[in-house]
Structure 1
Amino acid sequence: MKRRPLALAALLAAAGFTAPAHAQQTLRLTAVAGHPPVFLWVKLLDEFFIPEVDKRVAAAGGKVKIEWTRAFGGTLVKLGNESKGIADGIADIGFVSTIFEAPRFPMQNVSYFAPFGTDDIATVGNIVNDMQKNIPAMGQTWTKNGLVYLGGTALDSYHIFTTFPLKSVDDLKGKKITAPGPSANWIRDTGAVAVAGNLNTYYEDIKSGVSNGVVTFATGAWGAKVYEVAPYITKVNFGAQYAGGIAMNKGRFDKLPKDVQKIFLEVGAEYSQRFAAAQSAAAAGLLKKMEEAGAKISELPPAERKRWADTLPPVAKTWAADLQAKGMPGDQVLHGFMDGLKKAGVQPVRDWSGK
C-alpha cells in the first residue's frame, strides 16, 4: 500500500521546524511635507511618528516591515499641494498644511477666522480634533479628499514681527504686512496692507522690502530667521492656530492589516499630544533666544489688543455664512469652536459667534 505524501507543514514539523503562518510583508511608503524638518511638525513626523510606527509594528509580531522614503521641504510635493499629492499616490503619507489648502479644508481653518482666543496649543488642537469627530461634515472632509486623518494640532500663538516699533494699532497704517492665508483678515481695517507669503518666503520678502513685517508664530519665526530682518517682536497673542495634521492616502490605509491601521491611528493621536507639549516649550525658549540675539520684544497692552480685535470686521460670521451657502455647517463649526474655548475656561476678547 502506497503512503500518501505528507504535507509540507507536517514534514517540517516532523523535522523540528515551524513554518511561519505568513511571510513578512514589506510596505514601501513615501512621507512628504512642504516644509523642511527644521520646523517641529515635520521634525516630529521624521523623528517620532515614523520610528514609533516601526517600533510598534515590529513589536506586533514582525508580519509587516515598512521601508520609508522621506521627501521633506517640498522636494516631492510643494507646500499647499500635500493633500492632492498624497491622494493622487505621488506620496503615501505626510503633513497636510490645511492653512494653505483652505479650498479643500475650509472648516479646519475655523481658528484663523476667530483670532484673539487662547495661546494654549493643546486646547485649540483638542477642540478642533474633537470637532472633526463630532461634526460629520468636518471629519469627512479628509475622506472626501482621499485621505485618512491620523493626527494634528495647533501652532503656538501668532504675534507680529516688524521692521518698526509697534505700540498701537495706529502704527500699522500704511505698512505692508505679510499674513498667510486667512490670517490676512487679522489686519483688515487697521490701515495695513496684507501681503501673501509663507515660512519659506518671509525672510526674503522682508529683507527686500516686499513687506515691513509678518504675522507669524515664534517657532516658525525662529526656523525662518525672521527676527534677523524684523527685530521688533510685539506679542499680540492672536492665539494658537490649528494648521493641519498627518494624513495618509485612503486607499493605501484601507489595504493595511487592521492591527497596522490601529498602530498608525494610535501613533497619530500621540503625535498630536507630543507636538502640543513640545511646541509650547519651544515657543517660550525661542522667544528668549531671539531676544538674546538682539530682537526687541514687547507686549501689546490688553486695552490695545481688545481695540485691535474690535477694529476687525465680522470675519468669522462672514466666513460661516459663506460655508452655509455652500452647503457646509459653517455656523455649527464656528459656534463649536467658540463653545470649546469657553468650556476650556478661555475668555476670548471677542465672541466671534455673535452669541
Structure 2
Amino acid sequence: MSAVFKSGIAIGVLAMALLSQSAHAQKTIKMTAFAGHPPVFPWVKLLDDYFIPEVDKRLAAAGGKVKIEWNRAYGGTLVKLGSESTALKDGLGEIGFVSTIFEAPKFPLQNITYYTPFGTDDISIVAKVITSLQNKIPEMKAAWTKNNAVFLGGTGLDAYHLFTKAPIAKLDDLKGLKINAPGPSANWLKDTGAIAVAGTLQTYYNDIQTGVTSGALTFATGGFPAKIYEVAPNITKVNYGAQFGGALAMNKKVLDRLPKDVQKIFLDVGQDYSEKFNALLTSTTNDLMRKMAAAGAHIREVPPAERKQWASAIPNPAIPWAKDLDAKGLPGTKVLKAYMAEMKANGVEYPRDWSQE
C-alpha cells in the first residue's frame, strides 16, 4: 500500500472522527421561560417573539454547540404574578420576567420610580437611569443576586394615566372615588380625596364593571389589552410618568454553568431585548391611545399648570420611602438623590423635586 494511499486513508479517518465528535458535541439544554402575565402584554410578547428566537439564532451562528429546548409558561400557568423571583431562585424555570412592582420587599430600590411620580413619559430614559444606578450602587445589583437571578434587560411601563367611569375635569372630581392603584402608586392618590384599592391588570376590568371601584391608574399598553377603556372610557392623561416595572432575568446557577461564549449571548440578547422593548413601547403607546379613542374613549390631556397642582396636592412619597430604607440599612436617600440627579441630567423636568423635604 503506497504512502500516499495510507495518508489519504488516515486523513479520511481523522475527518470522520472529527465530524462524529462534532455531531456528538452539541448539547441540548431544556429551559423554561415564564411570566405571570400573558403574552398579550408587550414585555411577555417580546420575550416570546424576540428573545427566544434571537438566542436560538445566535447559538446556531456560534457553531451550534449548545441548543435550547424551550418550554413556554406564560399567564400564570407555572408561576403566579408576584412570585417570579421565587420561581427563579428555586429553579422552577430558567428565564423569567420579574415584575419588581409586585415584589417590592425583594426589590425595594428598583421601585424608586413609583415614589417619584410626574416624571417623563419617555421609558427609554427611565430604563437607562435604572440600569445605570444598578451598575453603580451595589445594593441594587445585590437584590438580583440574593434571589439567584441575573438581570438581563430592564423594561418599564408607559406613562400612567387615570381611567374612570365618569369624566375627571379637575382634581376635586376625585373626591370619594375608589380607584384601583397597584402597589406604591396608591401614594399618588393620597390627599386627593380618592381611595386607593389594590389590584392588578387581571382584576381591574371586573372591579370597575361590578362597582368595586370607579376606575384605575394604569397605562395604555396595559389598559388596551385588558380592555379597561370599555368599563372606564374616560382617560385623564395626568402623565404620572413612565415607570420601571420589572426585568427579564435568568437563574444565576444555570447561567454560570454555561460556556462563557453562551453566557455572553444571553446577556447581549437581554440588553437588546431591553432596547427593543423601549422602542416598541414608544411606538405602540400613541397608537393604542388612538385605538381607544376610536372605540369610544374620551381623552383629556392635563395641562402643565394643572399637572403641577396634582403633584403638589399629595404628600411627598419619596422622603419617607428613602428614610425607611435608610433605617433598614439600604441606601434609600442615596438612590433617591442619584435617581433625581440622573433624570434631570437626562433632561427630565419635574413639577416638584421629590428629593427635597
Q: TM-score range by the shorter chain?
A: over 0.9
Rounded to whole Å, the distance in 2 between the matches of 1:16 and 1:191 is: 79
Q: 1:94 is matched by which residue type in structure 2?
A: G
Match of 1:51 in 2: 53
Match of 2:103 in 1: 101
Q: Match for 1:277 among 276, 279, 297? A: 279
Residue aligned with 2:16, SS: coil
Rounded to whole Å, the distance in 1 between the matches of 2:68 and 2:12 is: 30
- Report the CA distance shift for 1:169/1:266 in structure 2 as closer, same or farther (over 3 A): same
Rounded to whole Å, the distance in 2 between the matches of 1:149 and 1:18 is: 41
Rounded to whole Å, the distance in 1 between the matches of 2:314 and 2:273 is: 34
1:198-235 CA distances to partner (integer Å, 9 max, x unpaired)? 01111101101111000000010001000000000000
1:278-329 CA distances to partner (integer Å, 9 max, x unpaired)? 0011100000000000000011122221111111112100000011000000
Q: 1:122 is matched by which residue type in structure 2?
A: S
Q: Is it true that 1:129 corresponds to 2:128 in the alignment?
A: no
Match of 1:180 in 2: 182
Q: Match for 2:169 among 156, 160, 167? A: 167
Q: Is it true that 1:268 corresponds to 2:270 in the alignment?
A: yes
What pairs with 1:192-341 in structure 2 (closer than 5 Å)?
A: 192-341=194-343
Rounded to whole Å, the distance in 1 between the matches of 2:43 and 2:338 is: 25
What pairs with 1:15-30 in structure 2 (closer than 5 Å)?
A: 16-19=15-18, 20=21, 23-30=25-32
Is the contact made by 1:95 and 1:246 (CA closer than 8 Å) also made in structure 2?
Answer: yes
Rounded to whole Å, the distance in 2 between the matches of 1:115 and 1:314 is: 10
1:1-40 CA distances to partner (integer Å, 9 max, x unpaired)? xxxxxxxxx9675364242356111110001000000000
Match of 2:33 in 1: 31
What are the ranges of 5 or more consecutive residues in structure 1 without an aligned counterpart? 1-9
- Report the CA distance shift for 1:67/1:313 in structure 2 as closer, same or farther (over 3 A): same
Is the contact made by 2:88 and 2:147 (CA closer than 8 Å) also made in structure 1?
Answer: no
Q: Match for 1:157 among 156, 159, 165? A: 159
Match of 1:14 in 2: 13
Is the contact made by 1:12 and 1:18 (CA closer than 8 Å) also made in structure 2?
Answer: no
Shift of 1:178: 0.2
Aligned residues: 346
Shift of 1:153: 2.0
1:242-284 CA distances to partner (integer Å, 9 max, x unpaired)? 0001001111111111111100000000111100010011100
Structure 1 stretches of 4+ with a deviation exceeding 6 A read: none
Is the contact made by 1:116 and 1:309 (CA closer than 8 Å) also made in structure 2?
Answer: yes
Match of 1:63 in 2: 65
Query: Identity rate of aligned residues, in percent?
Result: 60
CA RMSD of aligned residues (A): 1.3
- Report the CA distance shift for 1:102/1:15 in structure 2 as closer, same or farther (over 3 A): closer
1:105-147 CA distances to partner (integer Å, 9 max, x unpaired)? 0000000000000000100010001111111111111001110
Moved more, 281-290 or 149-158: 149-158
Residue aligned with 2:79, SS: coil
Rounded to whole Å, the distance in 2 between the matches of 1:272 and 1:217 is: 18
Is the contact made by 1:170 and 1:190 (CA closer than 8 Å) also made in structure 2?
Answer: yes
Rounded to whole Å, the distance in 2 between the matches of 1:45 and 1:11 is: 48
Is the contact made by 1:48 and 1:271 (CA closer than 8 Å) also made in structure 2?
Answer: yes
What are the ranges of 5 or more consecutive residues in structure 2 without an aligned counterpart? 1-8
Is the contact made by 1:53 and 1:264 (CA closer than 8 Å) also made in structure 2?
Answer: yes
- Report the CA distance shift for 1:16/1:331 in structure 2 as closer, same or farther (over 3 A): closer
Is the contact made by 2:236 and 2:302 (CA closer than 8 Å) also made in structure 1?
Answer: yes
Is the contact made by 1:150 and 1:245 (CA closer than 8 Å) also made in structure 2?
Answer: yes
Is the contact made by 1:54 and 1:65 (CA closer than 8 Å) also made in structure 2?
Answer: yes
